[in-house]
Amino acid sequence: MKKQINEAVNSGFSERCEKRGLRITPQRSIIYEELMKSADHPTADALYRRVRKRLANISFDTVFRTLMTFSENGIVNVVEGYGEMKRFEPDMENHHHARCVKCHKIIDFKNEAYDSIVVPQELQQRFKVLNKRVVLEGICEDCAKK
């Protein structure tokens, strides 16, 4: 089962890399696989700790630079941390985020109305919008219970 999951991850990953002219290295594959397994929008540091369990000699710099290369090539998204560390996610489909201001958890959600937000004309004249993503900030249910 695990082998099949890894093969599925790698086949999609291979296609994405080929399309963008990126070499597929064992380090890149493992970093991508670990990101695919995560549901928590990890920071580069959190992902580095996970990857080190599989590649003990990998450096933080390699993990960070790889994630930024993936982001620059449209393989992963950077989830800006609003003054916090960058966080990463492999979900390239259009979706939005709810962010807890206490624990900083990020929850993905889809909403057609948010997808259809019209960019104000005055902004369209000064700014070319490439992506629309709504970020709702509040307190998650776990933090609300505390």
Specify the CATH number for the domain of residue 132: 3.30.1490.190
Q: What pLDDT was estimated at residue 1? A: 36
Q: What pLDDT was estimated at residue 39? A: 83
Which residue positions in the chain have pLDDT lower than 50?
1-2, 4-5, 8
Give, for 98, the enclosing helix (H) or strand (E): strand 96-100
CA distances from 84 to 3, 24, 44, 53 (A): 35, 30, 12, 25
Q: What pLDDT was estimated at residue 85? A: 84
78 shares a domain with 122:
no
> In angstroms, rounded to a whole number, what is the distance separating the alpha carbons of residues 72 and 16?
12
69 shares a domain with 8:
yes
At 92-133, the pLDDT tens digits run: 888 999 999 999 899 999 999 999 999 999 998 899 888 888
76 shares a domain with 9:
yes
Contact 89, 66 (CB under 8 A): no
Range of the domain at 105: 96-145
- Among 59, 89, 119, residue at a domain's last position: 89
What is the crossing angle of helices 26-37 and 60-72, to 10°?
80
What is the distance between the terminal CA atoms of the chain, rounded to a whole angstrom? 38
Q: What pLDDT was estimated at residue 8? A: 44
- Among 89, 117, 136, residue at a domain's last position: 89
